[in-house]
Amino acid sequence: MDDHSELKYLKIKGRVQGVGFRYFTRQNAYDLNIKGWVKNMPDGTVETLISGNRENIREMIKRLMKGPRRARVTDIEEMSSNNIDETFHDFSVWR
């Protein structure tokens, strides 16, 4: 990553499963040229790893906090990405 890129590993909490949240995340990632992945977790949260331009990452987090129409995001927790050394070429929805 260059000086203008960031990598964020996020846990999104609230009513975020069964409301199209992963597909909302993918569409916004495409719109903002962000790479990475998103997946539902067994505890009812959604986790996402996003990589891209610092300004686009900030905008992405704002959009995730709002979520799709039927979602209700209560918190976005930033998790450690220190040991993550992945290169992404696109944005994937994991099952």
Q: What is the pLDDT of residues 34-73, one digit of tens each?
A: 999 999 999 999 999 999 999 999 999 999 999 999 999 9
The question of whether 33 is a catalytic residue gets the answer no
For residue 43, CA distances in Å to 21, 36, 48, 64, 68 come to 15, 21, 14, 18, 20
Q: Tokens representing 62?
A: 């704002």
> Where exactly are the structural domains of the chain?
5-82
Task: Tell me the mean pLDDT in the region 26-31.
Answer: 98
Annotated catalytic residue, options 15, 28, 33, 40? 40
Cα→Cα distances 10→39, 73, 76, Å: 11, 13, 6
Verify whether residue 63 is a known catalytic residue: no
End-to-end CA distance of the chain: 27
Structure tokens at 79: 């998790």
Q: What percent of the chain has pLDDT over 70?
A: 97
22, 26, 28, 56: the active-site residue:
22
Query: Which CATH number does 5-82 carry?
Result: 3.30.70.100
Q: Is the pLDDT of residue 3 over 60?
A: no
